[in-house]
A and B are shown apart, each in its own frame.
Chain A
Amino acid sequence: MKLELSRRDLFLAGGGAVAGIALSPVPWKLLDDLAIWTQQPSTPTPRPAGPLAFRHTSCSLCPASCGLKARCFGAQPVGFSAVPGHPASDGGLCPLGLTAHHLAKHPFRATLPERVSGGKRERIDRAAAVATLSAALAACGKNPKRIFAVVDGRPGRSLSRTWRALATATGGLYVTPPAAGASRSLEALGKRFDGGSLALGVDFSKARRVVSFGTPVLTDAGTPGLLARLRAESRRRPAAERIEVIQVEATRSRGAALADRFVPIAPGTEAAFALGLAHVLLDEKLADAAFLAARTSGLDEFASLAARFAPALVEQKTGVPAGVVTALARDLAASLPALVLGGDPASAPLSAEAEAAIASLNLLLGAPFGPLPVRADAPREADGDAKLASATPFDALPDGSVGLLLLDATVAEGLVPWERLKRALSDGALVVSLSPFRAGLGEKATLLLPGPAPLEAMLELEGPSDAPLSTLALAPALLLPPKDLPLPEEIVREATAAAGLSLPAPSSGRAAALLASKRGRIYDPSAASFEPLAGIASVDALAELFARGACWIDDAAPEPKGRFALLREGEAPRLLEAALGAPSALPARLTTLPRESVSAAPPSLLLTKLTRETTLFTPPAAANASAARA
């Protein structure tokens, strides 16, 4: 019997198979699974790394030292919010701070020492790093053209003592960069006090008019958003209490665009403009006569200088219509208290003469002790017996003299431009950076000793030097540094020892020094309350508070006795010459991310959202290109 298989049988069997599959779960289950499959994330699936907890610390990226409330899953922070009422920041945070937890994973992060030789960058081990550094240290001091210099972005820390001791041991320099914001104006004014140098801060809440010669007061200086907030709040108050911001600047910067009044001015003619305002104030007897009589000296000499700057001349020099100069001066006099701030070392530095003229103008307006209060530095460890080098200002760094340059991790390129540093270096100098990033100055260094990234180590953070009161946080670490990270401070110590030099043991006495001062109050962010420092029982208790993210704030300092000189000895001729000089070139108009220029760390990659996906800010590449041109 032979089985005949026809095409019909095949069709039937095929039909049966189709029916069988249709009657099985296959099609329906597959349909469902495929639907889910098309929704499969080809993306990371974030899972909590532990239970949710909030931890407090302070941001170390810029001098503002804002309080951070970190939302953490297990040990992993996933976001920050500001801490309302925090003494340093009062609830403000900037884009840089909001992304601080990304920096440990930044693509430019370095976790091993790197050396650049012959134009090639190579990773080296700890021993090689120590050897390179110790050879360079040993060579220092022998040749006066190849000295050692260390740049410290945040002087006054316990670590700063180590750097000062190292400078002493090698016969080198301990260099401090200018502080960001309005510090230069405050210094210029403080120097005129006859009781010696006086530290002043800025208290915007006490001013009705803020005249800024390029200081980004609304956008980028001091506590993020503070002046914008104060100004907006004042608008709901009677007209006489409103705060107005007047920006005097050569370009329509972001700050100028936001100011209530923008006075475009020929670049480099700020001194003439300030003296013009002084002229009107004195000529029309609008200056704060009581303050001048009680608190200043040298009015006649200054008046005769200012007399030369009639509004007509000022118009000719600065391009600002005479009427605008007069009206502004009258408005300032009518809306006291007013204050005037100079440029910003990071974005728009002014000449010393312009700062001097601005200091005089502040005196005519009676700004000191009101909008410009006296402040004291946060308590520091006493030098004691230790022989420690004193600070050399960055501007005073001699050209072509440095054979070994050590850049602390806190040094920001915006305040310490590489072009200026290069001038100070002698041929074949070794540039050591302790930055954890292969970016900014870390990229320029020939020996990179990367340390812990932001949030990976406890840091001593003082608030900005132009804040009305000093603050201090011993900000706890949130993240663990990579396991095998060689600590740069240890490498430096080893290399120093290998070079036959000695350093004092590392100290950590800041909390003790603070406690001993009995000054100020401490803010506990978890309780959102202040406690007088005098009430803290022990250094351990204080340290524990700091470990919970606390922040100390100073008491208001008493008004000192003494007078300000309206002009310093021999200042008048220089001032006159500068104010009558020709305008300078127009600076490029850039809008960098807030605080980008004063941060030692590169911005998180997420901030490309702002620089690439909005038109608000100049992309970093364009900013670098035009900075190089300038």
Chain B
Amino acid sequence: MKLPAPVSFAVGLVPALAAGWLLFPRLLYRTEAQPLAFNHKAHAEGGMACTDCHAVAENGRFAGLPSTESCAGCHAEKGESKTINALVASYVEPGREVPWLVHARQPDNVYFPHAPHVTTGKLACTRCHGPEGESTTPRAYQVNRLSGYSRDLWGPSMTRAGRKEWQGMKMSDCIHCHRAGGRESACLDCHK
């Protein structure tokens, strides 16, 4: 019996589609675990603002993630929870910094100043970072095996279709927002 042409075609098409849509993302990204099960929501419900830990300094530099020292300001001793015990035992007591895997970390040649966006532009943190502050456990960190950068730069969807504004931090996303606001920029505004 001869196979009808569409069937032969489909024999190639279907596995290729499956590989491309299902297997490829798994191959492209590697998942890494965060060092501590940090609970953003608990901190936020405790009345803390994002900037209490992630502040823009007077010199305009964004402090990024808080140092172990600032964590120790509240969590100097063990006892409250398993996570805090781990924090104290592994980082506070030996005086080490927590090796967080930063979802939003940009490539080395990118210069992103928070001050113009947050202080001058009055953008809410969630505008670019999404509802990170509501998370109870840190999202798994996914790293692109080819580029070595966080998956968040591309966004969760492989096609980037229908993504929310805060999903994706590619240069085109920056440019899109800047253009939409009529804000001119030069390469060296955001590259170093």
Q: Which residues of A contact B (CB under 8 A)?
A: 1-6, 8-9, 12-21, 23-26, 29-30, 32-34, 36-37, 39-41, 45-46, 50-52
B142 to chain A, nearest CB (A): 13
Q: Given A23-B17, A37-B146, A13 and B107 touching (CB < 8 A)?
A: no
A20 contacts B61, C-beta separation under 8 Å: no
Q: Is B80 positioned at the interface, with any CB of A under 8 Å from its CB?
A: no
* Given A4-B3, A17-B12, A46-B108, 4 new contacts (CB under 8 A): A15-B12, A21-B19, A36-B149, A37-B146
A17 contacts B108, C-beta separation under 8 Å: no
What 0/1 readout, one digit per residue, does chain B (49-68) give for beta carbons within 8 Å of chain A? 00000000101010100010
Contacts of B154 in A (CB 8 A): 29, 32
B20 contacts A12, C-beta separation under 8 Å: no
Closest B residue to A24 by beta carbon equals B20
Closest A residue to B11 by beta carbon equals A13
Residues 1-54 of B at the A interface (beta carbon under 8 Å): 1-3, 5, 8-17, 19-21, 24-25, 28
What's the count of A-B pairs with C-beta under 8 Å?
104
CA distance A34 to B28 in the complex (A): 12
Q: Which of A6, A26, A40 has the most CB of B within 10 A?
A: A26
Q: List 21 A-B contacts (CB under 8 A).
A: A4-B1, A4-B2, A8-B8, A12-B5, A12-B8, A12-B11, A16-B10, A16-B16, A17-B12, A17-B13, A17-B15, A19-B9, A24-B16, A24-B17, A25-B25, A26-B24, A29-B24, A33-B28, A36-B146, A39-B107, A40-B147
Q: Which of these, A9, A14, A19, A25, contacts B159 with CB under 8 Å? A: A25
Closest B residue to A14 by beta carbon equals B12
CA distance A46 to B107 in the complex (A): 11
B108 contacts A41, C-beta separation under 8 Å: yes
Contacts of B25 in A (CB 8 A): 25
CA distance A8 to B11 in the complex (A): 13
Q: Which residues of B contact A (CB under 8 A)?
A: 1-3, 5, 8-17, 19-21, 24-25, 28, 57, 59, 61, 63, 67, 107-109, 144, 146-149, 154, 158-159
B14 contacts A20, C-beta separation under 8 Å: yes
Q: Given A29-B28, A51-B57, A40 and B12 touching (CB < 8 A)?
A: no
Closest A residue to B22 by beta carbon equals A24
Closest A residue to B2 by beta carbon equals A4
CA distance A201 to B15 in the complex (A): 88
Q: Which of these, B9, B21, B59, B107, contacts A16 with CB under 8 Å? A: B9
Nearest 10 CB-CB pairings of A with B: A24-B20, A20-B16, A16-B12, A16-B13, A13-B12, A12-B8, A17-B12, A25-B158, A16-B9, A45-B108
